[in-house]
Amino acid sequence: MTPSVRILGIETSCDETAAAVVEDGRILRSNVVASQEQLHARYGGIVPELASRQHIRLILPVIDEALRRAGVDWAGISAIAVTFGPGLAGSLLVGLNAAKALAFARGLPLVGINHLEGHVYANWVEVDGSPEPQLPLLCLIVSGAHSDLTLMVDHGKFRRIGRTRDDAAGEAFDKVARLLGLGFPGGPAIQRAAERGNPEAYPLPRAELKDSWDFSFSGLKTATLRLVERLRRDGPLTEQQVADIAASFQEAVVDMLVAKTVAAARAFGVPQVALAGGVAANRRLRERLRAECPVPVVYPPPFLCTDNGAMIAAAGYFRFRAGDRAGFDLDVVSNLKLE
């Protein structure tokens, strides 16, 4: 029997300090995420300078805790995988430098991971006996900064077919939540408010962008802003109005994401579709895509949709197996693409 390959995954691209141990690309041994949500909530968004300082405070304790919970010591780790982009440069630097220092000190191989590729690999982490996704896979990667439709042709081989032309889906959720006074991060807050609302209460626009796999959310965001301004002329929004706006907005985003993804699944004849990124945690999106897609749809459990180290470790396993190694000159790439 071949010995298990255990990868330590490190993720600090945005506002979560995260580390995890994953065995053979699929078995979750530990997953530690220190969220900075509360630190940034009072500013209504992420403050980059505060994020990097907090990463510096938390990175070593988070890594120690990930090893402790996995019940392994350094001798039991085969390689270190770390996010080197895309993301906030100051945040990425903390995780990357910690990974480099530990790899050097422990004599371990280092593997650099694209954060978006990591999100896709969250689908490989086994939960309740979930099977491995089938390739080629059509991936809808929707996060705070990205809304990409990407074909995963093989391990480590991606071809982006569509992207957002303006705001990312998560960014739109965050901005509308802020507009409605629902707090940060906006996605979960909109989802919660929407549960009590009527998705047909207010007609909001859907950008079609014919003959393209691209998305656009800025028109919807502006229309929602105008709607709120108009309603507020008659006084503060009632709780029901907030719920109705949240539901109508969420439905419009989900309509656009589902329409393009279903059409692309047909056009490219893929055997499966995968959801990835923070917005993949959205319940309505998950339900509607599964109901309307002609092929099976896979998605990670919500705790693996938002940023975490397990997805980086899972992606790291497949790159490590393919012989991919990073040098100590690996630098962060803020605007790294997956294409």
What does the binding site for Zn ion look like in residue numbers (CB under 5 A)?
143, 307
Closer by beta carbon to Zn ion, 244 or else 307: 307
- Nearest distance from residue 306's CB to Zn ion, in Å? 7
The binder of 191, among Zn ion, ligand KG4, none, by C-beta within 5 to 8 A per type, is ligand KG4
Q: Using DSSP, state whether 240 is helix, strand or coil.
A: helix
Residue 282's binding partner out of ligand KG4, Zn ion, none, with CB under 5 to 8 Å set by partner kind: ligand KG4
H-only helix segments in 24-145: 37-41, 48-70, 89-106, 115-121
Binding partner of residue 86 among Zn ion, ligand KG4, none, CB cut-off 5 to 8 Å per kind: none
Residue in the block written with tokens 């992606």: 315
CB of 71 to ligand KG4, least distance (A): 27
From the list Zn ion, ligand KG4, none, pick the one residue 173 interacts with, judged by a Cβ distance below 5 to 8 Å according to partner type: ligand KG4
Nearer Cβ to ligand KG4, position 102 or 144?
Answer: 144
Nearest to 125 by CA among 205, 221, 21: 21
Residue among 143 and 282 whose Cβ is closer to Zn ion: 143
The least CB distance from residue 14 to ligand KG4, in Å, is 5
In whole angstroms, the minimum distance from the beta carbon of 335 to Zn ion comes to: 14
Q: Which residues contact 155 (CB under 8 A, 6 or more apart)?
A: 135, 318, 319, 322
- When the beta carbons of 197 and 277 are compared against Zn ion, the nearer one is 277
CB of 235 to ligand KG4, least distance (A): 28
Q: E strands within the chain?
A: 6-11, 16-23, 27-35, 79-85, 110-114, 137-142, 147-154, 157-162, 272-276, 297-298
Binding region for ligand KG4 (CB under 6 A): 14, 143-145, 170, 173-174, 185-188, 191, 277-279, 281-282, 306-307
Rounded distance between C-alpha atoms, residue 123 and residue 121, angstroms = 5
Phi, psi of 69 (to 5 degrees): -65, -30
With CB cut-offs between 5 and 8 Å by kind, which of Zn ion, ligand KG4, none does residue 308 bind? none
Q: In angstroms, give the least distance from the CB of 252 to ligand KG4.
A: 13
Q: Which residue has the tokens 């770390």?
A: 82
Tokens describing residue 2: 């071949």
Classify 191 in phi/psi space as left (phi over 0), alpha (psi -120 to 50) or beta.
Answer: alpha
User: Cα–Cα distance between 42 and 45 in angstroms, integer?
Assistant: 8
- Nearer to ligand KG4 among residue 185 and residue 199 (C-beta): 185
Cβ proximity to ligand KG4, 173 vs 318, nearer residue:
173
